[in-house]
Amino acid sequence: MVKNTNWFYVLIAMMLVAMLFISGRYFKGSGESSVGIAQTTEYKVKIEKPALVKAIHIVPGMEVKAGELLVELTSDELEIDITKLRNQITIRKSERAEKAKLVKAEISYIQAQKGIDIEELEAKILEMESEMMMNEVITKEFAIEASADANSPMAVRINSLKQQKQKHKEALSIQIEDVNQESTTELQLLENQINLWESELKLLETQKSNLNKYATASGVVKNVYVKAGEQVESFSSLLEINPLHPTTVIAYLIGKKSTQFGIGKIVSVSSYDQLRNSVQGEIIGYGSVSKLPDILQKSTANQAFGQQVFIEIPAENTFSNGEKVLIR
C-alpha cells in the first residue's frame, strides 16, 4: 500500500515537471516576449457635478467616433458660482485701481506741500547769498585785505537754511516711502485675493467646459440612461459605450519573464499572425497566476499557467476583441 502511494506522488511530480517544462518552452520568440489576448472594456460616461441634461446626440446602437459630442449639459449652480466670482473679481480690480489713484494723489499732495517749504527756503538762501556777495564787493572796494568770513552771522544763517532745506528733502523722501510701503501692502493683499479668485474661476470654467461629454474612443453606444430635460446628480452614469477596438491586453508571463515586465514599462503589442500590425502599450498592473485561456494553450493535454499582466493600449488600433497578440 505504501509502495503504491509513493508511485502516485512520483507520478504527480513528473506531471508537474512536464507542465513547467512545457510552460517554459511555450512562448513564441525570445525570452523577452510573451503572448496575450486583446480585450475591449465597456466604459460608462459619468458626470462629476449635478447638472441638467440639455441635449442628447446619440441613441443605443449608434456608432460614434472619438471626440464626438454625446451629451450636452448645463448647471445652474455652476453658472451662479461663476457669475459671483466674476463680479467679485471686477469689484476687487476696481478697488485696486482706485487705491493706486489715491496713492498717487497723496504723494503728489505731499510733494506739493513740502515743495512749497523747500522753495521758500531756496528763495531765502538765494536772497541772503546775493546780499552777502554785494557786501563782499563793497568791502573789497574799501578794504583790499578783506575776505569772506565763513563764521559771519550771514554765512551761518545761510548754512542753517541749507541744512533746513536738506532736512525737508529727507522728510519728503521718508513720507513718500511710508506711503508707498503702506500702499504696497494693501495693493498686494488685493492682488493676492484677485489671483486666488481668478484661479477658482478658471477651475469652475474648466468644470463648465467639461460638463459636455465626448466619446473618448470610437465605439457603439450600448445604453443611454438619461433623457433631455432630466436633472442628474453627481457621479451619475449618463451612457455606456462598447469600444470598437480593444483597449486592454491581458498577457501571461511564464517563469523568469515576470521580472522583465515592470509596471510602467512601454511594450510593443503586435498581432500574433501579422507582426507588422503593432502599437505601443503600457504595463499598468499584475493579476494572479492562472491557467492560460484555450486560445493561448499550445497543448490540450498539458495545460500551461502564467502570471497575468495588464497592458493598456491606444483605443485607435486594428485589433479584434479576443485576438491573440504578441508582447515584446
Mention every residue, 6+ apart, whose C-beta is less than 8 A from residue 128.
Answer: 154, 157, 158, 161
User: Does residue 252 share a domain with residue 221?
Assistant: no
Give yes or no: residues 125 and 106 share one domain.
Answer: yes
Q: State CA 259 to chain mean position distance.
A: 34
Q: Identify the CA nearest to 219 among candidates 311, 310, 313, 315.
A: 315
Is the domain of 90 the same as that of 57? no
Measured over the CA atoms of residue 118, residue 120, residue 126 and residue 128, the dihedral's sign is negative
Last residue of a domain, one of 224, 242, 260: 242
Task: Verify that 59 and 102 share a domain, yes or no.
Answer: no
Model confidence, pTM: 0.50
Amino acid 8: pLDDT:
62
Q: What is the pLDDT of residue 16?
A: 53
Say how many domains are in the chain: 3
Per-residue pLDDT tens over the stretch 256-271: 556 678 889 999 999 8
Are 93 and 192 in a shared domain?
A: yes
- Distance separating alpha carbons of residues 76 and 80, to the nearest angstrom: 6
The predicted structure's pLDDT at residue 9: 64
**Which set of grid coordinates corresponds to residue 174?**
521718508
Please tell me the predicted confidence (pLDDT) of residue 257.
Answer: 59
Domain check: are 66 and 215 in the same one?
yes
| pLDDT score for 276 | 63
> What is the domain extent for residue 89?
77-209
Residue 163 sits in the same domain as residue 95:
yes
| Nearest in space to 277 (alpha carbons), one of 217, 325, 244 | 325
Q: Check whether residue 141 and residue 181 sit in a common domain.
A: yes
Low-confidence stretches of the chain (pLDDT < 50) are 1-3, 20-30, 144, 146
Where do we find the cell 477658482?
Answer: 200
Do 257 and 308 fall within a single domain?
Answer: yes
Q: What is the pLDDT of residue 20?
A: 46
Residue 18 lies in a domain: no
CA distance 241 to 221: 4
Would you state the pLDDT for residue 198?
A: 95
**What was the pLDDT predicted at 245?**
86
Domain annotation covers residue 199: yes
| pLDDT computed for residue 27 by the predictor | 41
Distance CA 193, CA 245 (A): 49
**Tell me, what DSSP letter sits at residue 28?**
S
Closest CA to 200 of 89, 50, 93, 74: 89
What's the CATH code of the domain at 274? 2.40.30.170
